[in-house]
């Protein structure tokens, strides 16, 4: 029983990290319809800035400030790169530009910091135990921040004027423009906020594992799959799918029959298969709804 | 001389994949980002059949290409079922999924250590012979590509990108065009994968993957016009231009990252340059 609970807890922690990224992707897709693939690389770059601050012994708060600055700059840079394609509605070209931008960021990180793994926390990770199950301190931070982020995002998107503007832009950009809403400013803010959230994920991930230049790509692809499996138009779907696509492979890996032992490296393969099956049956996602096409 | 043979062999392999990419990206508007998976899949299948199951080499090659076409048919089925955005993301995800599968199934694929000592067929055992063989294969591919471009199928593929509904109204099945493009592109990637693995004679999970995708997309975007000359020139530019950095005095450990950085910057510049051109803007109807 404790083993099952441990698997579930680990899946919830990882699912929450994926949820952070999926929410960032959801927000960007809502305002610009673009799949911003380079968010993973941006998150890793921010984590490297945090690592740099720690290495230079400038204190945690200065490292956080450095990371925030990196996230803001990269968010702005990605906005300027992708805005043209958003205006011309060239979504797939924007995906390619975003992909190239992300790969470029990873190459720069590899050139500056080298490809070897880096550790933000040296030595053994601090852990907490209760009822026979353990959780690392970064994992606990992830859960707390995850709950806060979900509540804040849900309230903002569903209940506030800013959320209504966000949803309006995703449905009908022309009409929103005639109402005097500065869409460029909204998109800029969303890109920056998403980059900051991605950076937060990068730092939390790097605390739990080792930091490498290519760490972000796998997680951003899982987040994308969560977004599409859940339905890119409804944040509830994103939240649910982020956990489902982590829980199911974890159970398959840990509870497979003895003659079919799967290692954890099969996770991405199972996630891909689940996505293909779900999207073949429900192409718009589990919680999809039809939005007005303009 | 060996260096030039190596570069030329890489150019020919990239050209084969570039033809598939041109047909799918530029002509049909299908962002088939799973071509690197087919590139790796055919190489791994051939190597596993020959080395693990002692199948005759040419038979292994034929089976590998056939199975790659089956994989292409699977992607073609997925394309008809999901939205374009989802398909593009699934294609990117397939690269990671295949990498995860290859690393995990180490009893068959060798895991992270890969498969070494892949022998070339007897008749193309030396590098110059391999280059000549590759040249012959690519000549056939380019002639076939030219014929397809001039044929009704070529017009159907271009029409599919411009106005798929009108194409259907003329009685042409969209699924047939999609299948032709995706399966054909997968087959060409598979052939390129085999040529490349015979050149390096070694396979590991990093074979193909994202760097291969960047090169492929760069060629496809650059080869905007549906002409054989366009894909030839695009492949020359994309393969030979980054080789200039090899002649600069950089540590070898950094050259790989510099090359990838150069490709990503090149691709961004290319997309910015051509995004205003008519081929990537939908006709207003």
DSSP state, B278? G
Percent of chain B past pLDDT 70, that is, above it, reads 95
> What's the CA gap between B133 and B143, in Å, rounded?
16
* Average confidence (pLDDT) over A183-210: 88
Mutation site, B97, B248, B274, B284, interface A, largest A CB count within 10 A: B97
Task: Report helix, strand or coil for A11.
Answer: helix
Per the structure, the count of domains in chain A is: 1
A236: in domain: no
Cβ-nearest to A97 among B92, B97, B268? B268
A230: in domain: no
A49: in domain: yes
pLDDT digits (tens, 9 = 90+) for A80-129: 999 888 888 888 888 889 999 999 999 999 989 888 888 777 767 777 77
pLDDT value of residue B46: 94
Query: Would you tell me the crossing angle of helices A2-32 and A183-208 to the nearest 10 degrees?
Result: 160
- Shortest Cα–Cα distance, A268 to chain B (Å): 5
Kindly tell me if the per-residue pLDDT of A65 is higher than 80: yes
Contact call for residues B208 and B71 (beta carbons, < 8 A): no
pLDDT: is B221 or B62 the higher one?
B62
- Shortest Cα–Cα distance, B142 to chain A (Å): 26
pLDDT: is B212 or A287 the higher one?
B212
Task: Report helix, strand or coil for A84.
Answer: helix
Q: Where are the alpha helices (DSSP H) in A114-234?
A: 137-159, 161-171, 173-178, 183-208, 215-230
Kindly tell me if the per-residue pLDDT of B118 is higher than 90: no
Kindly tell me if the per-residue pLDDT of A49 is higher than 60: yes
Paired tokens of A211 = 């930091």
B158: in domain: yes
B203: in domain: yes
Cβ–Cβ below 8 Å for A267 and B100: yes
DSSP state, B36? H
**A97 interaction partners in chain B (CB closer than 8 Å):** 267-268, 271-272
Averaged pLDDT score across all residues of chain B: 87
pLDDT value of residue A258: 67
> What's the CA gap between A207 and B19, in Å, rounded?
44
Mutation site, B28, B35, B93, interface A, largest A CB count within 10 A: B93
> What's the CA gap between B95 and B40, in Å, rounded?
9
Confidence of residue B277 (pLDDT cuts 50, 70, 90): low
> Does A95 contact B at CB distance below 8 Å?
yes
CB contact set of B47 (below 8 Å; sequence gap of 6+): B115, B118, B197, B203
Kindly tell me if the per-residue pLDDT of B133 is higher than 90: yes
Kindly tell me if the per-residue pLDDT of A289 is higher than 80: no
**B100 interaction partners in chain A (CB closer than 8 Å):** 265-269
Structure-token match 């960007």, residue found: A28
A128: in domain: yes
pLDDT digits (tens, 9 = 90+) for B237-269: 888 887 777 777 777 777 788 888 888 888 888
Pick the residue from chain B with its C-alpha nearest to A89. Answer: B281
CA distances from B2 to B8, B9, B29, B127 (A): 10, 10, 38, 8
Cβ–Cβ below 8 Å for A217 and B86: no
> Does A279 contact B at CB distance below 8 Å?
yes
pLDDT value of residue B270: 85
Kindly tell me if the per-residue pLDDT of B278 is higher than 50: no
Longest dimension (CA), chain A: 63
A168: in domain: yes
CB-side neighbour CA atoms (13 Å) of A115? 8
Interface of A with B in 218-277 (CB under 8 A): 218, 221, 224-225, 228, 232, 262-263, 265-269, 271-273, 275-276
Phi, psi dihedrals of residue B203, rounded to the nearest 5° = -130, 135
Averaged pLDDT score across all residues of chain A: 85
Range of the domain at B195: 2-209
pLDDT value of residue B279: 47
Phi, psi dihedrals of residue B218, rounded to the nearest 5° = -60, -45
Q: Which residues pair with A128 in a beta bridge?
A: A135
Q: How do strand B115-116 and strand A133-136 relate by DSSP bridges? A: unpaired
**A96 interaction partners in chain B (CB closer than 8 Å):** 31, 217, 221, 267, 271
ipTM of the complex: 0.83
Cβ-nearest to A107 among B81, B104, B260? B260
Phi, psi dihedrals of residue A32, rounded to the nearest 5° = -135, -5
> Does A113 contact B at CB distance below 8 Å?
no
pLDDT digits (tens, 9 = 90+) for B153-176: 999 998 898 888 888 888 888 889
The two counts, helices (H) then strands (E), for chain B are 12, 2
Phi, psi dihedrals of residue B115, rounded to the nearest 5° = -120, 125
Residue-by-residue DSSP string for B84-151: HHHHHHHHHHHHHHHHHHHHH-HHHH-GGG-EE-PPPPGGG-SHHHHHHHHHHHHHHHHHHHHHHHHS
The two counts, helices (H) then strands (E), for chain A are 11, 2
**A88 interaction partners in chain B (CB closer than 8 Å):** 275, 281
Among the listed residues B120, B102, B138, the one whose alpha carbon sits nearest the alpha carbon of residue B228 = B138
A256: in domain: no
Range of the domain at A156: 2-214
A151: in domain: yes
Confidence of residue B285 (pLDDT cuts 50, 70, 90): very low
pLDDT digits (tens, 9 = 90+) for A228-283: 888 887 888 888 899 989 988 888 888 777 666 777 778 888 888 888 888 888 88
Per the structure, the count of domains in chain B is: 1
Paired tokens of A179 = 């109402």
> What's the CA gap between B114 and B125, in Å, rounded?
21
> Dihedral through CA A37, CA B211, CA B271, CA B34, nearest 10?
-70
> Dihedral through CA B249, CA B255, CA B257, CA B261, nearest 10?
60
pLDDT digits (tens, 9 = 90+) for A146-166: 888 888 888 887 888 888 887
In this structure, the number of other CB atoms found within 10 A of the CB of residue B139 comes to 11
Contact call for residues A100 and B214 (beta carbons, < 8 A): yes
**B101 interaction partners in chain A (CB closer than 8 Å):** 266, 269
A162: in domain: yes
pLDDT digits (tens, 9 = 90+) for B203-218: 988 888 888 898 898 8
B37: in domain: yes
Mutation site, A30, A85, A96, A241, interface B, largest B CB count within 10 A: A96
Residue B93, Cα to own-chain centre: how many angstroms? 16
- How many residues in chain A? 294
Residue-by-residue DSSP string for B185-217: HHHHHHHHHHHHHHHH-EE-TTSSHHHHHHHHH
pLDDT digits (tens, 9 = 90+) for A18-47: 999 998 998 898 888 888 999 999 999 999
pLDDT digits (tens, 9 = 90+) for B96-107: 899 988 988 888
pLDDT value of residue B141: 94
Cβ–Cβ below 8 Å for A284 and B81: no
Kindly tell me if the per-residue pLDDT of A292 is higher than 60: no
Pick the residue from chain A with its C-alpha nearest to B276. Answer: A88
Cβ–Cβ below 8 Å for B217 and A96: yes
Contact call for residues B234 and B150 (beta carbons, < 8 A): no
Mutation site, B77, B85, B91, B222, interface A, largest A CB count within 10 A: B85
First-to-final CA distance of chain A: 52
Cβ–Cβ below 8 Å for B93 and A81: no
Q: Which residues pair with A136 in a beta bridge?
A: A127
> Does B220 contact A at CB distance below 8 Å?
no
pLDDT: is A141 or B283 the higher one?
A141
Mutation site, B271, B272, B276, interface A, largest A CB count within 10 A: B271
CB contact set of B212 (below 8 Å; sequence gap of 6+): B17, B36, B39
């Amino acid at each position: 029983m404790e083993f099952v609970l441990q698997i579930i807890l680990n899946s919830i922690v990882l699912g929450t990290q994926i949820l952070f990224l999926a929410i960032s992707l959801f927000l960007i897709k809502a305002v610009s319809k673009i799949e911003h693939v380079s968010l993973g690389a941006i998150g890793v770059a921010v984590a490297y800035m945090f690592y740099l601050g720690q290495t230079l012994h400038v204190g945690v708060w200065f490292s956080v400030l450095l990371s925030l600055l990196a996230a803001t700059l990269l968010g702005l840079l990605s906005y300027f790169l992708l805005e043209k394609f958003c205006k011309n509605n060239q979504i797939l070209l924007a995906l390619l530009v975003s992909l190239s931008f992300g790969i470029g960021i990873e190459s720069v990180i590899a050139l500056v910091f080298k490809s070897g793994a880096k550790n933000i926390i040296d030595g053994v990770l601090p852990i907490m135990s209760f009822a026979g199950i353990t959780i690392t301190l970064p994992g606990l931070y992830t859960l707390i921040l995850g709950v806060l982020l979900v509540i804040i995002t849900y309230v903002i998107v569903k209940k506030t004027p800013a959320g209504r503007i966000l949803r309006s832009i995703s449905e009908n950009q022309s009409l929103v423009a005639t109402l005097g809403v500065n869409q460029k400013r909204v998109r800029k803010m969303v890109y920056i906020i998403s980059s900051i959230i991605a950076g937060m994920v990068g730092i939390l991930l790097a605390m739990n594992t080792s930091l490498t230049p290519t760490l972000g790509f796998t997680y951003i692809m899982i987040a994308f799959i969560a977004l599409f499996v859940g339905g890119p138009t409804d944040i509830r779907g994103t939240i649910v799918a982020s956990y489902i696509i982590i829980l199911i492979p974890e159970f398959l890996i840990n509870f497979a029959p003895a003659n079919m032992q799967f290692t954890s490296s099969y996770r991405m393969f199972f996630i891909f298969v689940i996505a293909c099956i779900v999207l073949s049956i429900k192409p718009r996602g589990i919680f999809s709804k039809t939005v007005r096409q303009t | 001389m060996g260096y030039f043979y190596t570069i030329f062999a890489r150019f020919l392999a990239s050209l084969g994949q570039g033809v598939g990419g041109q047909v799918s990206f530029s002509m049909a508007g299908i962002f088939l980002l799973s071509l690197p998976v087919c590139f790796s899949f055919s190489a791994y299948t051939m190597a596993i059949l020959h080395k693990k199951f002692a199948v005759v080499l040419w038979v292994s090659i034929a089976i590998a290409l056939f199975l790659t076409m089956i994989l292409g048919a699977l992607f073609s089925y997925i394309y008809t079922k999901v939205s374009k955005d989802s398909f593009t993301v699934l294609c990117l995800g397939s690269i990671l999924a295949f990498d995860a599968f290859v690393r995990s199934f180490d009893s068959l694929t060798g895991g992270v250590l890969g498969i070494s000592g892949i022998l070339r067929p007897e008749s193309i055992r030396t590098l110059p012979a391999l280059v000549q063989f590759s040249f012959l294969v690519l000549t056939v591919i380019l002639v076939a590509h030219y014929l397809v471009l001039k044929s009704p199928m070529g017009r159907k593929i271009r029409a599919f990108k411009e106005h798929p509904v009108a194409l259907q109204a003329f009685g042409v099945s969209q699924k047939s065009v999609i299948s032709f493009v995706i399966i054909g592109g997968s087959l060409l990637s598979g052939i390129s994968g085999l040529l490349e693995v015979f050149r390096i004679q070694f396979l590991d999970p990093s074979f193909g993957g994202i760097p291969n995708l960047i090169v492929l997309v760069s060629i496809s975007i650059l080869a905007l016009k549906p002409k054989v000359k366009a894909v030839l020139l695009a492949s020359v530019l994309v393969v030979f231009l980054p080789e200039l950095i090899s002649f600069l005095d950089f540590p070898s450990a950094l050259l790989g990252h510099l090359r990838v950085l150069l490709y990503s910057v090149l691709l961004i510049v290319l997309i910015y340059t051509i995004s205003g051109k008519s081929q990537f803007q939908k006709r207003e109807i």
